[in-house]
Structure 1
């Protein structure tokens, strides 16, 4: 029993250290940026959708991720405490979230990604920010989303982003992508994970994961990683690329 407790304590410490990049890394990127709009073109052709991206110095998406990064740091502390001592965890939301992470850790490869995509899609009830918060475009952290049991596309994407990291994926293989759905005429957010050199979209609109080159009628706008926000430089309509047509359900969420 003593050995088990000690092992869980070390696991909590490791988790806390691993979560630290959510907040400070975003703040570091903010300090490096100037106020000129879009700056410092970076060679990131290996990003989802194979497009180049530039680092934006300001804007609504940049600010939303800044705010979310600070809150994710608080989530990391709570998750570390609960992961180290489940019996005395004071957050039911953390326990539900960690249960999904546990199931994913027991799988490998595509099955791990699929487990998180499916479980989080089922755990969160679709609800607009206006209906839930009386405001538009509120980005919530996983523990807030799981406490409410509801959220919109950004909330699903952020929850999957964090769950994938905790399940063992490297941060270099994780993204959140903001896209324009040209069929609905609205912006949408998905998590993206790279597996064997291919980017898979973890979308709350469907259970099956689709590779980026097979996504249809999506115009990539921004890509987010652990260092900050980048704006896609070239954003063509993805409607005539090779592969199977995109057949995801169409709706507000």
Structure 2
């Protein structure tokens, strides 16, 4: 019995190490030392929409993402423990998220991306942060979102981003993009995944995944990867009603 408990504990620890996906803070700090010009040059051809970006070293959007990463550290441990002993796991949200990841792992390519997009869209009810938490803009980690069963657009995007990462999609092929709806006049967040050199957007507003080149009536404003929060520096208006981003706040 004692050997079995120790074995499960060791497996859980190893899984926690394997599930760790956030880069060290030192890496984030080093990346912010790049000048805007250098950052734009490096990232011009690799980000969704093919636009140049500059790394943000401060600001509310960066603070929100760093906050999510800190909460994810705790959730990775919880997921590892539940994965090592699913019968003994008391977190319904963790078991639900692990089920999404397991199903996605069994698929490949576009089917893997589509499975995560569909599963998260069905598992989470679209509601504003104000209605759920009494706050205007709160970014939540996947288990917190699934525990509530509700969230707004960035909560969907974060859950999809993490699920795909744990399902085996490389970090370099995953992003969260915040765009401005040039018709509705609000900001909107989606996950983005690169497949065979093309970026697909995973949107809580639709089940079908849309390639970035086919997105209409949105102006990309910010893009987030594992280590950095970046701002698009030459995003052209997609429609006549386009406006500049007044603040990095995403709505449903």
TM bracket, shorter-chain basis: 0.7 to 0.9
| Aligned-residue offset at 1:8 | 7.8
| Aligned-residue offset at 1:33 | 3.3
Contact 2:21 2:165 in 1 (8 A): no
Q: Determine the structure 1 residue equivalent to 2:181.
A: 181
TM-score normalised according to structure 1 size: 0.86
Count the aligned residue pairs. 237
Q: Determine the structure 2 residue equivalent to 1:117.
A: 117
- Which stretch of structure 1 is more off in the superposition, 169-178 or 229-238? 229-238
Q: Determine the structure 2 residue equivalent to 1:41.
A: 39
Contact 2:182 2:239 in 1 (8 A): no
| Aligned-residue offset at 1:84 | 1.3
Q: State the distance in 2 between where 1:10 and 1:175 align.
A: 32
Q: State the distance in 2 between where 1:148 and 1:48 align.
A: 30
Structure 2: runs of 5 or more not aligned? 241-250
Poorly superposed stretches of 4+, deviation over 3 Å: 4-15, 24-28, 30-34, 37-40
Q: What RMSD over aligned residues (CA atoms) do the two structures have, in Å?
A: 2.6
TM-score normalised according to structure 2 size: 0.86
Contact 1:27 1:66 in 2 (8 A): no
Contact 1:16 1:77 in 2 (8 A): yes
Q: State the distance in 2 between where 1:115 and 1:93 align.
A: 18
Q: State the distance in 2 between where 1:226 and 1:201 align.
A: 17
Q: State the distance in 2 between where 1:174 and 1:121 align.
A: 18
Structure 1: runs of 5 or more not aligned? 241-251
Show CA shifts across 1:81-112 (max 9, x none).
11111111121100011111111111111001
Q: Determine the structure 1 residue equivalent to 2:245.
A: none
Q: Determine the structure 2 residue equivalent to 1:139.
A: 139
Q: Determine the structure 2 residue equivalent to 1:165.
A: 165
Q: Determine the structure 2 residue equivalent to 1:191.
A: 191
